[in-house]
């Protein structure tokens, strides 16, 4: 009987050896994998920046030059993430973000070289920009490459907590910077779902015939006027209220009830498209904190409910939207044409504008509009321009013909 020869290495040893070799190979490749992963999430840009030297202060000039370079790098990345039409129509809010929140998007930078020339200080910078953060910001604003903008929402929510003798609301005279907790909560919920939030950071300067009623219960006509003023597609009107209940937990914890009644209308027509009523309770030893928490809970549920209703209506109207050709004559006056284009983009129901053809002194636009060509024409005729007027010479179901008429002295 032959003796069985045992293998030099057992299967367990062979397995461990293979595992160790595989692990070592992976660890050797890990820096390359991480580097590739990092490249997917950041973009490296080389740009120049310039700062003026004032009173021989080269340090400040250098700092300004670096800041300018970082802004330029960030601007290039933002511009590369969205189509030109969306960049033009959203240039103002994007410009504000790029200048005021530059550091938020810059992962790191280094100065490659620098020089002084007369009263100028110049630097060459290599900056790393976070693509993920740029995309997240564009998503918050409702601007995504290859997708359409979600509706822009303005909130008219009055609020009365237990310490308030009267409801607080931002559209009363001199109070446009007031933000209620209900508005803040609802805006945060809806922004995460892709809605664009209209900020009321400027006083509501409206025509005299659109007087703002000094009342916490905003009417549809007031909401429409404010919606147009702040370029909103949807206006959410509501009232939030906190009140004590009879329930208690122990000696100190009291119960508070928060309610929110709200409705959503289209800024262009005043048509009501969604409504909600939500209530919630909170326990707290402090009545103000308890009231705010109860309102916040109710506002969260209300925002979720309205988001579903508005999104369903938006999807339905998207199917009904039409492409309307607008032929514009007189576009050699470029500044006037840019103002006209912005005016068209601000009309409620306009979901996008593309330039399809450019000729000498004539440009053809394709407008994605949730309505008819006649409705678009009527909305455009309500616009007023300082340096020019418009003449609508032709209106068909699919096409508008507009001529820009410069005013004397411009």
> Do 165 and 281 share a domain, yes or no?
yes
> Do 48 and 128 share a domain, yes or no?
yes
> Do 350 and 332 share a domain, yes or no?
yes
| Domain presence at residue 6 | no
User: What is the residue range of 237's domain?
Assistant: 152-319
Domain end marker among 263, 290, 319: 319
**How confident is the model at residue 202, as a pLDDT?**
65
Highest-scoring range by mean pLDDT, 69-73, 238-242, 357-361, 366-370: 238-242
Domain end marker among 285, 319, 353: 319
Burial class (CB in 10 A: 0-12, 13-18, 19+), 350: buried
Rama region for 374: left / alpha / beta (φ>0; ψ in -120 to 50; rest): alpha
**How confident is the model at residue 212, as a pLDDT?**
54
- Binned at pLDDT 50, 70 and 90, residue 84 comes out as low
> Do 97 and 206 share a domain, yes or no?
no
pTM equals 0.50
pLDDT tens digits, 250-297: 677 788 999 999 999 988 788 899 999 999 998 888 888 888 999 999
Average pLDDT over all residues of the chain = 80
pLDDT tens digits, 340-376: 888 888 888 787 888 878 888 888 888 888 777 888 8
Report the distance separating Cα 238 and Cα 156, nearest Å.
6
DSSP labels, 89-117:
HTHHHHHHHHHHSHHHHEEEEEEEEEEEE
| Domain presence at residue 386 | yes
- Is pLDDT at 146 greater than 70 in this prediction? no
> Do 303 and 389 share a domain, yes or no?
no
Spatial strand order in the sheet of 42-52: 42-52, 120-130, 106-117
Question: Domain containing 81 — which CATH number?
Answer: 3.30.1660.40
Lowest pLDDT segment from 87-101, 103-117, 137-151: 137-151
Q: Which two tokens stand for residue 201?
A: 């950071």
| Domain presence at residue 23 | no
Q: Which two tokens stand for residue 253?
A: 């914890």
| Other beta carbons within 10 Å of 210 | 14
Please tell me which residue, 132 or 182, carries the higher pLDDT value.
182
- Give Cβ neighbours of residue 287 (< 8 Å, ≥ 6 apart): 162, 163, 244, 254, 256
């Amino acid at each position: 009987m032959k003796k069985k020869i045992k293998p030099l290495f057992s299967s367990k040893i062979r397995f461990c050896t293979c595992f160790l070799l595989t692990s070592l190979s992976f660890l050797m490749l890990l820096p390359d994998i991480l580097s590739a992963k990092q490249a997917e999430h950041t973009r490296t840009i080389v740009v120049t920046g310039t700062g003026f030297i004032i009173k021989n202060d080269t340090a400040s000039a250098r700092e300004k030059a670096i800041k300018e370079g970082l802004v330029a790098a960030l601007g290039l990345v933002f511009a590369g993430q969205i189509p030109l039409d969306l960049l033009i129509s959203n240039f103002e809010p994007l410009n504000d973000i790029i200048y005021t929140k530059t550091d938020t998007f810059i992962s790191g930078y280094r100065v490659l070289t620098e020089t002084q020339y007369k009263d100028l200080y110049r630097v060459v910078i290599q900056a790393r920009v976070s693509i993920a953060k740029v995309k997240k910001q564009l998503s918050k604003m409702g601007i995504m490459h290859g997708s359409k903008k979600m509706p822009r929402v303005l909130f008219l929510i009055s609020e009365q907590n237990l310490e308030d003798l009267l409801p607080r609301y931002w559209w009363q005279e001199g109070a446009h910077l007031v933000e209620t907790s209900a508005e803040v909560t609802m805006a945060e919920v809806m922004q995460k779902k892709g809605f664009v939030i209209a900020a009321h950071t400027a006083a509501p300067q409206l025509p005299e015939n659109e007087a703002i009623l000094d009342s916490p219960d905003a009417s549809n006509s007031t909401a429409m006027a404010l919606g147009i003023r702040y370029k909103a597609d949807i206006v959410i009107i509501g009232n939030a209220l906190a009140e004590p209940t009879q329930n208690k937990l122990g000696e100190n914890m009291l119960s508070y009830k928060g309610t929110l009644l709200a409705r959503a209308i289209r800024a262009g027509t005043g048509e009501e498209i969604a409504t909600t009523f939500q209530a919630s309770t909170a326990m707290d030893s402090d009545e103000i904190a308890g009231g705010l928490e109860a309102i916040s809970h109710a506002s969260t549920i209300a925002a979720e409910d309205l988001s579903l209703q508005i999104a369903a209506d938006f999807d339905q109207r998207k199917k009904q939207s039409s492409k309307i050709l607008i032929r514009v004559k007189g576009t050699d006056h470029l500044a006037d044409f840019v103002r006209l284009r912005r005016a068209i983009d601000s009309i409620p129901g306009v979901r996008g504008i593309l330039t399809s053809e450019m000729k000498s002194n004539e440009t053809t636009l394709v407008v994605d509009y949730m309505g008819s060509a006649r409705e678009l024409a009527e909305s455009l005729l309500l616009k007023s321009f300082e340096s020019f007027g418009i003449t609508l010479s032709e209106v068909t179901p699919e096409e508008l013909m507009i001529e820009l008429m410069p005013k004397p002295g411009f």
